Amino acid sequence: MVDKTSIQKAVKTALEKAPERKFKESVDITVNLKNIDMSQPKNRIDETILLPNGFDNVRIAVLGKGDITTQAKDVGVELIIGPEEIERLGGEPREARKMAEEYRFFLAETAMMPLVGRYLGVRLGPRGRMPMPIPQGMDIRPIVQRLRSSVKIRTKDKKVFHTKVGSTGMELTEIAENIDAILRRVEAVLESGTMNIHSVYVKTTMGPAVRVI
């Protein structure tokens, strides 16, 4: 287990070494794994992790019609896609690919899932962006709020993953707490826990990487 003091020191160094910018940059970590066969699906990580300190630019898309779209508007969801638009995007691979890259989480009415699979599955699936199915009548507002404070970790067959943990506009301790939450969750799902983590680095978008462990 990485101690919180070491995480805070690394974050402090990364923020101090980052070139001064007039805008907020992302703060990201890179985690390198070891002694684990990632060609085996059971060893791969696919986790949505709720962070103690969320950040303000997690983009969410909702696919459906009727009440679910009203709820999405209530909580300021960035993109709402109806059935006709789903079908249209199926014929616009470049636009669909851009959407899959720009939006972090997707929610879709259960009834829409066959349509999503048919027209957008090839764009969303490989990126780990297939929508969370929402049964009719379920309130998506608390789900959206929770996802805005979450990150998704997906390793596929690689022994490395990257994820955003905050921004330069956040307090140092908030960023460190987010990193701690991610590492604890990752250690919990790895076969040998900490022994499967080779190294962890933290950096701002434009700054140098600083080793945490």
pLDDT band, residue 15 (cuts 50/70/90): very high
Please give the residue range of the domain that contains residue 183: 4-54+151-211
Whether residues 85 and 98 fall in one domain: yes
pLDDT band, residue 54 (cuts 50/70/90): confident
DSSP letter for each residue of 48-87: EEE-SS--TT--EEEE--THHHHHHHHTT-SEEE-HHHHH
Say whether pLDDT at 56 is over 70. no
Say whether pLDDT at 2 is over 80. no
Whether residues 15 and 78 fall in one domain: no
Whether residues 89 and 141 fall in one domain: yes
Q: Which of 100, 121, 147 is the last residue of a domain?
A: 147
Average pLDDT over residues 72-95: 95
Average pLDDT over residues 122-138: 94
Rounded distance between C-alpha atoms, residue 108 and residue 125, angstroms: 14
Whether residues 125 and 204 fall in one domain: no
pLDDT on residue 47: 94
Residue 13: CATH number of its domain: 3.30.190.20
Rounded distance between C-alpha atoms, residue 105 and residue 76, angstroms: 14
Whether residues 139 and 65 fall in one domain: yes
pLDDT on residue 134: 97
pLDDT on residue 23: 83
Q: Which of 118, 147, 176 is the last residue of a domain?
A: 147
Tokens 């929610």 appear where? Answer: 107
pLDDT band, residue 186 (cuts 50/70/90): very high
Whether residues 42 and 65 fall in one domain: no
Q: What are the structure tokens assigned to 111, written together? A: 């009834």
Number of domains in the chain: 2
Whether residues 80 and 129 fall in one domain: yes
Whether residues 136 and 64 fall in one domain: yes
Whether residues 40 and 71 fall in one domain: no
Pairing, β 105-109 against β 60-63: parallel
Whether residues 26 and 66 fall in one domain: no
Rounded distance between C-alpha atoms, residue 136 and residue 139, angstroms: 9
Whether residues 66 and 142 fall in one domain: yes
Residue 136: CATH number of its domain: 3.40.50.790
pLDDT tens digit sequence for 104-120: 999 999 999 999 999 99
Whether residues 182 and 109 fall in one domain: no
pLDDT on residue 202: 98
Q: Which of 92, 125, 147 is the last residue of a domain?
A: 147
